[in-house]
Amino acid sequence: MQDHPPRLFPPTRFLRRAPALVIGLERDIDVWLKAQSLPDRPERVQGKGTAQAWTESRERGAPIAIVSGRDAAALVALARPLPHYGRQSFVIFEGSKAIDRGAWPARVQVVPVVPQ
C-alpha cells in the first residue's frame, strides 16, 4: 500500500471487494460502519484509549483495516508505532503507546469438495 498514492472516497461510497485501509475520527468511523453494513466497532476496542486499529473480514470480500482516533492528534500519534503491529488483529493506543493488542480467534473455513 505504501507504493501507491492513497485514493480518497466519500464515506457514502460502498467498498469494492479489494482490501482497504479506512482511517477516520471515531464518530465518522461509526457512521461509516453502519453505512457499509459492517459490524459495529468491536467490544474489545470500544471506548478504550485515544485510538484503535482493527481488522474486519467482509462476507465474500477482502479484508479491511480500520484506524479510528478520538481526534486528529490521536491519528497523527499512530504514524510511527502502528506499522509495527501488522500481525495483530487489533491494537489500542493511548497517544503513541499501545495499551492492548491481540488477535481475533481463527475462523474455520469450509472448502466444498465436489467429486468428479
When pLDDT is averaged across residues 88-115 and rounded to a whole number, the result is 87
Strand extents, DSSP E, the chain = 20-25, 51-57, 63-69, 90-94, 97-102
For 1-45, what is each residue's pLDDT tens digit?
566 777 777 777 777 777 888 999 999 999 989 988 888 999 999
Q: What is the pLDDT of residue 74?
A: 97
Could you tell me how many residues make up the chain? Answer: 116
Rounded to an integer, what distance in angstroms lies between the CA atom of residue 46 and that of residue 55?
14
The whole-model pTM stands at 0.81
Q: Is the pLDDT of residue 52 over 90?
A: yes
Domain range list for the chain: 20-101
